[in-house]
Chains A and B, each alone.
Chain A
């Protein structure tokens, strides 16, 4: 493919080639993705989850923080207007579950957005510059990886206190490491590739090499990493909230609901059952989708 491109007129053909190869890559990927039943199931679960999160305030029968003092700890279907019952202070459980989806998704997306904004540039710089910059980067990442992640997050939360944005910030401190490392590895690998060498030989400016040749090729592994990073951040939020140091009341969080329900589990089983099922389905959906994306986008697997 490279020799064919080299013999043709330069500028136009290269442009055409990248444009075309992209279309076929995404086309192949889509076909591959749709062929896998699990990834389609994952996509459905994730879409459903996003739908609930986005329209939580329209779908919820009650405000998530409205307390009904005369309806504390109702079982599901015990009262017509609370299909999933009420929690330990008398708030509608269905409404809290729906809004919990929103909290969870918001944390997942925000943490990954921060990870991309920090990790990708840092990793690119380290990978492309090499030498001393890369050495310092590798050391910093090594040291940060030696920190026990969850304990470190707990320490930070104790420093700042809980709350939605503090949880996001605390989870972001460690979440960019993986993306930065991956970006660096991609740059190291692609810098040595034949087409980058060819571009250097034809006198393409560095900035153009990075934007046109390296980043598009590094994109798919990063996309896969992000698709796994979102549920990881949601997992982190659920864990912190489960321990009672994450999202603060009255904002609902599935992890917090599970944590609180632990004390009521012997009698009020519904408090534990619904949020755990919600967490499990969301996690499964995201990882099926991530697996599907990885299989679809990894060019080594496409034969």
Chain B
């Protein structure tokens, strides 16, 4: 087990290294540097000074080595577009907003999805089951920005119930006054419909599978109450596919959706990434890529470890196929 985890962590580090190299190379392959825009106005001496200040006058491999040396000490540099703060500070402040949307979305997506899934599995092939399956499919298939615009058209324009866009809580405290204002409703609902559908489908499928097993029939035959049966026997065994869904959805939701953030004008991480790419803000792009790649790899590792915890039959390492 220890050996397996060590191996996985080493491969995670290797992946991060490759990601950093490729991103760095791609960024610098982009024609035009971050200070080209002001080239006409800046005297050459001043431009040289700026380039020297940010270390952009050095050869690429030196720049990369410098960056990585600092990054290992968790110093990701200073964003070109906002030189009064560090990259870490900018990311943290943007991420607060994204995380608020993310936490609410995770809550609704998992709550709603699991409820829907359990209900649909319990009343199989009923009208409700079909409706849930269809809704889940709608949520999975239709892009979030399409759903977002429909919600805006219905609830903000037509009915005028909720604000159309904006996010009043700038992120000083994590949930804060979210409960008292209504501008979170549309973004969170537009965002959570897709994941809710995925989770609903997963839940339904895994519960249906467990309900077909012999031990469920045995439990029913020996007279376990339906509620007991559901919680003690079925849900417990149906956990594994749910953990898969949990593991793949959470990092996604917590890093935010570019589409939702740009539809609803929320100043979060995703929206900032697009701006950074177009400003050629090297330190920001690097840091965001490393952060998201790290989160992804880490959640995959953690979800694999969670399997062994939930289901002792799963053994990691050894004759692993992929």
User: A: which residues have CB within 8 A of B?
Assistant: 138, 142-143, 146-148, 150-151, 154-156, 158-159, 185, 231, 235, 238-239, 242-243, 245, 258-259, 261-262, 265-266, 269, 272-273, 276, 279-280, 283-284, 287
Contacts and interface: CB of A to CB of B under 8 A. Distances in A.
20 contacts: A142-B11, A143-B19, A146-B15, A155-B23, A155-B27, A158-B30, A159-B30, A185-B322, A243-B258, A243-B262, A245-B274, A261-B149, A265-B164, A269-B157, A272-B152, A273-B153, A283-B143, A284-B137, A284-B138, A287-B140
B249 to A, nearest CB: 15
B149 A258 contact: yes
A148 B297 CA distance: 10
Nearest to B322: A138
Contacts of B285: 155
A242 B293 contact: no
A19 to B, nearest CB: 33
Interface class of chain B by DSSP: helix
Contacts of A258: 145-146, 149
A279 B148 CA distance: 13
Interface string B273-299: 110011000000100110011001100
Interface in B17-32: 18-19, 22-23, 26-27, 29-30
B35 interface: no
B305 to A, nearest CB: 17
> Which 5 pairs between the two chains have the least Cβ-Cβ distance?
A148-B292, A276-B146, A158-B277, A287-B141, A283-B141
A49 to B, nearest CB: 14
Contacts of B322: 138, 185
Nearest to A242: B145
Contacts of A142: 11, 15
Nearest to B144: A239
B153 A272 contact: yes
Nearest to A279: B146
B115 to A, nearest CB: 23
B307 interface: no
Nearest to B145: A242
B143 A262 contact: no
Residue of B30, B146, B263, B289 with most chain A CB atoms under a 10 A cut-off: B146
Contacts of B122: none
Given A283-B143, A284-B141, A158 B278 contact: yes
A103 B288 CA distance: 31
B149 A239 contact: no
Contacts of A259: 145
B156 to A, nearest CB: 8
A269 B151 CA distance: 12
A154 B143 contact: no
Given A276-B149, A280-B142, A151 B288 contact: yes
A243 B11 CA distance: 34
B150 interface: yes
Nearest to A280: B142
Given A146-B296, A148-B289, A258-B149, A159 B143 contact: no
A280 B255 CA distance: 25
Nearest to B264: A262
B144 to A, nearest CB: 9
A150 B149 contact: no
A269 B153 contact: yes
Residue of B29, B278, B322 with most chain A CB atoms under a 10 A cut-off: B322
Residue of B145, B262, B297 with most chain A CB atoms under a 10 A cut-off: B145
Given A155-B27, A242-B145, A266 B278 contact: no
A150 B143 CA distance: 14
Given A155-B285, A158-B277, A147 B293 contact: yes
Nearest to B17: A143
B298 to A, nearest CB: 10
Given A235-B143, A258-B146, A276-B150, 14 more contacts: A138-B322, A143-B18, A148-B289, A148-B292, A151-B289, A154-B274, A155-B289, A156-B26, A159-B29, A159-B30, A243-B262, A245-B274, A258-B149, A266-B164
B259 interface: yes
Given A146-B293, A284-B141, A287-B141, A243 B153 contact: no
Residue of A146, A147, A273 with most chain B CB atoms under a 10 A cut-off: A146
A154 B146 CA distance: 20
Contacts of A147: 19, 22, 289, 293
Contact of B273 (A151, A156, A273, A279): A151
B162 to A, nearest CB: 13
Nearest to B277: A158
Contacts of B30: 158-159
Interface in B115-167: 137-138, 140-143, 145-146, 149-150, 152-153, 157, 164
